[in-house]
Chain A
Amino acid sequence: MSQSTGNRQLRSPLGRVRGLGAAKEGVGHWWAQRVTAVALVPLILWFVVSLIALIGADHASFTAWVRQPLNAILMTLLLVAGFHHLQLGLQVVIEDYVHHEAARIASIVAVKFSVVLLGLGGIFSVLKIAFGG
């Protein structure tokens, strides 16, 4: 509690200036989850229809589809926004249900590493096809 006169808040002046709160990161996580959500709305609509259209495709027609610049760009964007959103969401789920601190931190880090690895694997595959690999 602050000693300064006229300060009726529990937060110290330094805490208020930093504006980061108890989680020490402010609204960064919350905001990133919303921004990726908004980005994913049009991307998902495009993705679901494309996915269904590609169900029976052979290798030649699938790679031809990926090679079209618009598809390669949208698929890369989907992977970036989607896996970022997935990491943020899984972190909240873990924080809510895993109460043992070491287990919580370990699973959050494990999820982060796996999601980055998966996302990168997907992006690398798209680019490899797009650039004629």
Chain B
Amino acid sequence: MALSILHRMAGVALGFGSLLLVYWLASAAQGPAAFAQAQGFVGSWFGVLLLFGFSVALFYHLFNGIRHLFWDAGYGFELKTAYSSALAVLAATAVSTVLAWIVGLSMGVR
């Protein structure tokens, strides 16, 4: 199924995203000037878009990963169950992404 290769692609994409995370932390450790530059990028429309994609990939990989853990334990192999858990993964990804942005933006420090 398509979700399986998507799981890998999301994982690899998250690997590239982790470069951005370390750059962000390192710039903060370096000082206000470097951090302002990093935040300027993160706060730009492209940065927010990247962050949005990052959050979608994270939630997708997380929920589909939980699906894989159930398979590892020997549950959910029936075709009907596998289809409905696939739908559940997609729904959970969409709902969590929207929720995380609502909660995150409302907690925002700006």
Contacts and interface: CB of A to CB of B under 8 A. Distances in A.
Interface of A: 34, 37-38, 40-41, 44-45, 47-63, 65-66, 75, 82-83, 86, 89-90, 93, 118, 121-122, 124-126, 128-129, 133
A125 B54 CA distance: 21
Contact of A44 (B25, B29, B58): B58
B29 A53 contact: no
Contacts, number: 118
* B12, B39, B59, B101, most chain A CB atoms within 10 A: B39
A64 to B, nearest CB: 9
A129 B28 contact: yes
Contact of A57 (B25, B48, B101, B109): B109
B21 interface: yes
B105 A53 contact: yes
A52 B18 contact: no
A129 B55 contact: no
Contact of A129 (B12, B22, B29, B104): B29
Contacts of A82: 18
A53 B107 contact: yes
27 contacts: A34-B72, A41-B65, A51-B55, A52-B55, A52-B104, A52-B108, A53-B104, A54-B108, A55-B104, A55-B105, A56-B43, A56-B109, A58-B39, A60-B32, A63-B28, A66-B28, A86-B14, A86-B18, A90-B15, A118-B18, A118-B19, A121-B25, A124-B29, A125-B26, A125-B28, A125-B29, A129-B25
